[in-house]
């Protein structure tokens, strides 16, 4: 059986993005793993989302969106005692976003903080069946800010390894999630960094931004970062509109990706990039030479770019046909 599915584990949340006029906000569905799961479906890759949502209006909106794209929700948890997280997102003059905090919840915690291992274990036979068909497991580090969700994600990683599922980690450092955690706000920054670095040892593929490479590894060389981790993962370092640095399958290089003067909102661009990369790895096979690697990176870069041309993450993610049409226009 050829493995083609991707399991995405982590947060689904609301990006409350400040309007250009600075008057009010607009709500968009988001959260890195949720974004990746949706983007993969638009790129014709089967995806499964594992996460926890509040049993509220936002949670229901997510379920509607996932269902529209046919994202598998067999392991989705709906929690009555927590709420779907709403993140306040401000933007600078270049469209780049920064997180300015969270909307207050009527509950004591957010749903993504209480992803339950016990509920996952009840579905273990179905989970094992899914792992048999799964090529990649994608996750980030935000759930580590909650001991409950962290326990669950480490459990899922161990289960995935039994079935030789490749682990893809997007570092996605978001300090505000730790500062405002219902559980871990007292953990020092050094302790947070150490916990995340330990987690990254599980990665077969690691994607991170240039500033994250500097913070966590004091280096921007993907080969040297790989050598700091026990699995010696392939490493991809993005840097906004600048070239992507990579160490993949024993090869190292830098690839330029298309840019545009029409950037509206960069929310979810990295997630679309990652989905594009994974879709290429599945559809075209793992790259074995520099030309194949550059094709993967350029395809991923176009996915990220097209997502930036409008507001919101999931809404703007391109379909497979649009990505190929854009790539064709670059050649002609």
Q: Is residue 331 part of a domain?
A: no
Domain limits for position 297: 13-326
Split at pLDDT 50, 70, 90, the class of 188 is confident
Domain of residue 158, CATH code: 3.40.1190.20
Q: Is residue 110 part of a domain?
A: yes
Q: What is the DSSP string of 106-164?
A: SSSSBGGGG--HHHHHHTHHHHHHHHHTEEEEEE-SGGGGSHHHHHHHHHHHHHHHHTT
Residue 186 has pLDDT above 70, yes or no: no
pLDDT in tens, 93-120: 665 667 777 877 777 789 999 999 999 9
Report, as an integer, the average pLDDT of 297-312. Answer: 93
Residue 53 has pLDDT above 80, yes or no: yes
Q: Is residue 1 part of a domain?
A: no
Q: Is residue 27 part of a domain?
A: yes
The sheet with strand 47-50 has its strands ordered as: 47-50, 5-9, 134-139, 166-170, 205-209, 234-239, 242-248, 251-255
Split at pLDDT 50, 70, 90, the class of 183 is low
Residue 270 has pLDDT above 90, yes or no: yes
- Residue percentage of the chain with pLDDT more than 70: 95
Helix (H, G, I), strand (E, B) or coil at 15: strand
Report, as an integer, the average pLDDT of 19-45. Answer: 90
Residue 68 has pLDDT above 90, yes or no: yes
**Distant-in-sequence, close-in-space partners of 215: CB < 8 Å, separation ≥ 6:** 173, 193
pTM of the model: 0.95
Residue 91 has pLDDT above 80, yes or no: no
pLDDT at 90: 80
Split at pLDDT 50, 70, 90, the class of 221 is very high
Partners of residue 102 on adjacent β-strands: 87
Report, as an integer, the average pLDDT of 60-84. Answer: 97
Q: Is residue 200 part of a domain?
A: yes
Split at pLDDT 50, 70, 90, the class of 185 is low
Distance (Å) of CA 72 to CA 8, 42, 50, 209:
10, 14, 9, 29
Report, as an integer, the average pLDDT of 9-31. Answer: 86
Q: Is residue 230 part of a domain?
A: yes
What's the start-to-end Cα distance of the chain, in Å?
38
Report, as an integer, the average pLDDT of 69-95. Answer: 89
**Per-residue tokens: 203:** 């990665």
pLDDT at 332: 53
Q: Is residue 314 part of a domain?
A: yes
Among 48-52, 149-153, 308-312, name the one with the lowest average pLDDT: 308-312
**Distant-in-sequence, close-in-space partners of 1: CB < 8 Å, separation ≥ 6:** 132, 133
Domain count, the chain: 1
Q: Closest by alpha carbon to 91, among 307, 209, 313, 264? A: 264
pLDDT at 95: 57
pLDDT at 19: 75
Split at pLDDT 50, 70, 90, the class of 331 is low
pLDDT at 85: 94
Q: Is residue 37 part of a domain?
A: yes
pLDDT at 77: 98
Residue 80 has pLDDT above 90, yes or no: yes
């Amino acid at each position: 059986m050829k493995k083609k599915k991707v399991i995405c584990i982590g947060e689904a949340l609301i990006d409350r993005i400040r309007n250009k006029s600075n008057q009010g906000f607009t709500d968009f569905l988001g959260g890195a793993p949720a974004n990746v799961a949706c983007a993969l479906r638009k790129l014709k890759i089967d995806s499964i989302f594992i996460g926890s949502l509040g049993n509220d209006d936002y949670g229901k909106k997510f379920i509607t969106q996932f269902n529209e794209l046919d994202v598998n929700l067999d392991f989705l948890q709906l929690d009555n005692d927590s709420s779907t997280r709403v993140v306040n997102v401000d933007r600078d003059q270049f469209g780049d976003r920064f997180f300015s905090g969270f909307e207050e919840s009527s509950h004591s915690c957010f749903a993504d903080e209480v992803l339950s291992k016990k509920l996952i274990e009840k579905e273990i036979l179905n989970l094992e069946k899914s792992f048999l068909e799964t090529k990649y497991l994608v996750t980030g580090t935000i759930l580590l800010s909650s001991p409950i969700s962290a326990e669950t994600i480490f459990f899922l990683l161990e289960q995935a390894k039994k079935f030789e599922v490749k682990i893809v980690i997007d570092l996605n450092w978001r300090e505000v999630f730790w500062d405002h955690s219902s559980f871990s706000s007292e953990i020092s920054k050094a302790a947070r960094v150490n916990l995340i670095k330990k987690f990254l040892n599980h990665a077969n593929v690691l994607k991170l931004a240039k500033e994250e490479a500097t913070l966590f590894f004091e280096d921007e060389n993907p080969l040297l970062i790989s050598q700091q981790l026990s699995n010696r993962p392939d490493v991809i370092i993005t840097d906004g509109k600048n070239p992507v640095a990579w160490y993949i399958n024993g090869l190292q290089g830098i690839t330029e990706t298309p840019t545009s003067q029409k950037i509206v909102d960069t929310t979810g661009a990295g997630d679309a990039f990652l989905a594009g990369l994974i879709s290429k790895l599945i559809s075209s096979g793992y790259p074995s030479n520099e030309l194949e690697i550059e094709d993967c990176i350029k395809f991923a870069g176009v996915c990220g770019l097209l997502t930036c041309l409008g507001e919101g993450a999931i809404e703007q993610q391109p379909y497979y046909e649009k990505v190929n049409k854009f790539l064709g226009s670059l050649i002609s």
